[in-house]
Amino acid sequence: MSERLQAGLVSVNTFRPVHWTLPYGGYKQSGIGRENGMAVLSEYVEVKCVVVDYSQDAPEDPFAN
């Protein structure tokens, strides 16, 4: 049931659980993003992939064939 509810916080057999590790925020037009927990980091970062080749060999030519 909790999966189908469109809510930012669902609690079962407890009243309004609040903890700094729990992401909290509105749903749809009730808010933007999340506060607390690891989910808040997505508001401040953008994923980037960086590849560093430390080998001493010359790089291979991908168009050589």
Look at the pTM and tell me if it is higher than 0.85.
Answer: no
Q: Is 40 helix (H, G, I), strand (E, B) or coil?
A: helix
Q: What is the pLDDT of residue 17?
A: 72
**C-alpha–C-alpha distance, residues 43 and 2, integer Å:** 24
What are 19-59's pLDDT values in tens digits?
A: 767 777 767 766 666 777 777 777 777 777 787 888 888 87
What are 7-29's pLDDT values in tens digits?
A: 767 778 877 777 767 777 767 76
Backbone angles phi, psi at 43, to 5 degrees: -75, -20
How many Cβ atoms sit within 10 Å of the Cβ of residue 39?
15
Domain ranges of the chain: 1-51
